[in-house]
Amino acid sequence: MAQSERRQEQERVNEVIDVIGEKVEKITGKKSNVKQGIVDLRKNFWDDVTVNLDENDDVYETQASIKQQAELLSERERRHGQMTKELKTLSRLQDTPYFGRIDFREEDERRSEALYIGIGSLMDAQNEDFLIYDWRAPVSSMYYDYAPGPSKYTSMDGEVRGNMTLKRQFIIREGKIKGMFDTGLTIGDSLLQAVLGGKASSQMKSIVATIQKEQNQIIRNESDRYLIVQGAAGSGKTSAALQRVAFLLYRYRKTLRSDNMMLFSPNPLFSSFISSVLPELGEENVVQTTFKDFIKDRVGNDLQLENPFDQTESCLTMIDDEQLKIRTAGIRFKASLAYRDLIDQLLETLKSKNMIFRNITFRDQVIVSKEEISNYFYALPNDQTILNRLEQVRDWLLRRLAAFSKRERKEDWVLEEAELLDKSDYASIFEKLQQQKQFSQETFDDYDREEQLLRKIVMNRRMKKMRRKVKQLDFVNCQKVYSELFYQHYADDVVPSHWDTICKSTRMRFEEGDCPWEDAVPYLYMKEKIQGRKGNQEIRHLIIDEAQDYSPAQLAYLQAAFPRCRMTILGDMNQAIYAQSLNSDTMLSEHLYKPEEVKKLTLLRSYRSTKEIMNFARAIVPDGGQIEPFDRSGKLPEWIDTSDELEKSALILEKIAAFKQNGFETFALIGKTMKECREAYRLIKDKTDVKLITQATYQFDKGFIIIPTYLAKGIEFDAAIIYDASSANYSRESEQTIFYTACTRAMHELVLLSNGEPSPFLNRIPTEHYLRT
Ligand SMILES: Nc1ncnc2c1ncn2[C@@H]1O[C@H](COP(=O)(O)OP(=O)(O)OP(=O)(O)O)[C@@H](O)[C@H]1O
């Protein structure tokens, strides 16, 4: 490319940066005025409000006046917030004003126009022309979708066709052009090479400058309620999902806010890993949670909920094959819609019998017995829904409680407790009586009234919790009702083998107040069908990452919990590491959705790892041949046999030292289970600086960590060492996906240690794809 052209481009960059500087100055000035306005308004809020409470009309006027003043204040605060956001974007543009340029000649136009694309848009000083187009603007889509030649985009007024005469990429840092390439079909492999060859970090980066065409389809999809993305490890699913969030926030900026979107991530570590992407794109983070936290919130404190990681750990460390078979059969059955049908059958039965209630007790005395409640419930007409009838029971119970409270108030213990009430309670009663103008200096009557009020306070306080529980329909014993499922008889072809054993262990766990993870969603489904629960109307878009970990029952539950939602569902069946997903339907199964509402896209190109690592890893999984590694070279994966512990720890330390020497910054020793990770940690913790990652770790920094596969999901490292790739560890079918997931965490180097006979998965991998020492 001619030097003169680069000079011209640099001159344009300089001009744009000047305009940005002027805008920054202008907005900063305005912002400080707005700020002063806010301070003044807050200080003098009441000066400008007319307060008059004499007559009804005056009260309304006062209210209107306060409202007007509050609106003025919040309008200014909103403007201030907007200016802060604008300044943040401008400051980013000052460093890197844009990353792309396309020259586009519209049909019927004689000249082509140069359009520059960056992370935010910028108008010229006269606010007439765009100096930079936001990457999310309709016209910018051509940058991602087309090579030079005929191209088109959809504007507000319809389709615009034309010819792209140039497509150019820039690397601009601190206002200086560091690189500039004219590109062909895909967005500059050279730029992508540079980006992917860089170091991993403890925080994911945005990919706006190098979004690929197939990723752009995910990002800009607007037509489908459920967008499913099945993508190979490292194909950019999470990246595309986050840029999609930014796109939707831009596209629907008038109606959609970041708190209307929710992202389900696989673990807290992942949440922190991705948390800087949206702010980097000038957007606020969306609501983030893990499915476990979401469910735990809903289960409440009635039951001790098992953690899904503990479930996985317990399955993976189970030595007895028969025991594992039974637990897995239970997990998989309870994740299916067939099991939900059994719950529906139970719910049907409950309309006429078997509903189980709790006694309503007070100070060890039964006020209303469960039998009485049951009789009242079943005496109500059974053409009404269960919820409807329970609401009537609730009202009846509240009346009974009120009558009881009135009676009980007279008891001696109430007065005894009243004497222990706070001074402030006495003061408030005194005030109340005075207000009622009933307190006339020390008369017998007044003391009597005071005592009544004190007794009332005691009873109200004592009964508050019980009343709340009744209002929440908590007089139904949902745990026991759910356990009923495990006392029923079903045809053999309905339930899995070993059903009796599954029933026994589930009953036992519920009796102890535990809720196994596989029962959590079915239990909630049943409980909410009985007690009712309103869906969340606030959240309008759900993004579900690692969706292969979600069962059909969990999907149905989420659909009911978020009835208005659209969903972006991303996952990889080859990384299904939970027992429920093995050879079963998951949230990625298209047929679980209405055909007209769902679209499935597939990403086959993998960007994270070198082609050597990906060639190795893809040979592990059955359809791995379809995965296309990105053409970036590195070392062959190395498989090292070592059975001696001392030798093993020396090897790990040697490898870590070599990684550091290579300039790598993040490296992980990956274990199959937490048990294995603790073992590895004990082996080397005194010899080097290393951190053990557990379920409770919410963040990780650069350096050396030890982590189990299920917590490393979605995360990447410069280099990874698989701690024990022996056949004892990785040979079952269910372990194949864990092994693949672990290997695909490495960007640049992969080392596998095996203790004894190597995993049979190694036999699937052509020998030229790794070094064996
Ligand atoms: N278009 C792109 N430009 C630059 N980097 C990209 C692009 N697409 C993906 N990457 C990089 O590839 C790596 C993997 O991306 P990401 O984590 O989004 O993949 P994934 O499909 O979610 O992976 P996994 O399923 O293994 O968790 C990240 O480092 C990401 O920045």
On whether both 307 and 249 belong to a single domain, the answer is: yes
Q: From CA 595, how far away is CA 674, in angstroms rounded?
A: 41
* Structural domain includes residue 461: yes
For 221, the token pair is 């999809």
What CATH number corresponds to the domain at position 761? 3.40.50.300
Q: How sure is the predictor about 190, in pLDDT bands with cuts at 50, 70 and 90?
A: confident
Domain end position, chosen among 150, 174, 206: 206
On whether both 466 and 553 belong to a single domain, the answer is: no
On whether both 345 and 378 belong to a single domain, the answer is: no
741 lines ligand 1 (CB under 6 A): no
On whether both 368 and 472 belong to a single domain, the answer is: yes
748 lines ligand 1 (CB under 6 A): no
* Structural domain includes residue 146: yes
For 621, the token pair is 């999984």
Position 597 scores a pLDDT of 96
What CATH number corresponds to the domain at position 333? 3.40.50
The pairs formed by 692-700 with CB atoms below 8 angstroms and a separation of 24 or more are 693/269, 695/267, 695/268, 695/307, 695/309, 697/268, 697/269, 698/268, 698/269, 698/271, 698/272, 699/202, 699/269, 699/272, 700/202, 700/269, 700/272, 700/273
714 lines ligand 1 (CB under 6 A): yes
Question: How many other CB atoms are found less than 10 A from the CB of residue 226?
Answer: 21
> From ligand 1's centre to the CA of 231, what distance in Å?
10
Position 50 scores a pLDDT of 64
**7, burial (CB in 10 Å: exposed 0-12, middle 13-18, buried 19+):** exposed
On whether both 246 and 289 belong to a single domain, the answer is: yes
* Structural domain includes residue 214: no
On whether both 307 and 369 belong to a single domain, the answer is: no
Position 286 scores a pLDDT of 94
* Structural domain includes residue 213: no
Q: Whose CA is nearest to atom 25 of ligand 1?
A: 233
Q: From CA 330, how far away is CA 721, in angstroms rounded?
A: 34
Q: What's the angle, vertex CA 241, arms to CA 240 and CA 245, rounded to 5?
A: 115
Least confident of 436-445, 487-496, 683-692: 436-445
On whether both 287 and 194 belong to a single domain, the answer is: no
* Structural domain includes residue 338: yes
Which stretches of 36-157 are assigned E, i.e. beta strand?
100-106, 113-118, 122-123, 130-134, 149-155
On whether both 619 and 756 belong to a single domain, the answer is: yes
What's the domain range around 707?
611-772
233 lines ligand 1 (CB under 6 A): yes
Which residues participate in the annotated binding site for ATP? 231-238
On whether both 423 and 483 belong to a single domain, the answer is: no
| DSSP bridge pairs for 433 | none
> From ligand 1's centre to the CA of 206, what distance in Å?
10
Atom of ligand 1 nearest to the CA of 715: 27
Mean pLDDT of 316-340: 88
In tens, the pLDDT along 147-174 reads 899 999 999 889 999 999 999 999 999 9
* Structural domain includes residue 606: no
Q: How sure is the predictor about 188, in pLDDT bands with cuts at 50, 70 and 90?
A: low
On whether both 445 and 562 belong to a single domain, the answer is: no
Q: Whose CA is nearest to atom 13 of ligand 1?
A: 608
Percent of the chain with pLDDT over 90: 64
What is the tally of structural domains in the chain?
4
Atom of ligand 1 nearest to the CA of 205: 31
Q: Which of 297-301, 338-342, 444-448 has the highest mean pLDDT?
A: 338-342
Q: How sure is the predictor about 85, in pLDDT bands with cuts at 50, 70 and 90?
A: confident
Q: Which of 330-344, 497-511, 601-615 has the highest mean pLDDT?
A: 601-615
On whether both 169 and 43 belong to a single domain, the answer is: yes
Q: Rounded to two decimals, what is the model's pTM? A: 0.87
| 438 has a pLDDT exceeding 60 | no
Position 194 scores a pLDDT of 80
Q: Radius of gyration over alpha carbons of the chain, in Å? A: 32
* Structural domain includes residue 211: no
Mean pLDDT of the chain: 90
Position 186 scores a pLDDT of 54
For 715, the token pair is 């995360």
Atom of ligand 1 nearest to the CA of 200: 29
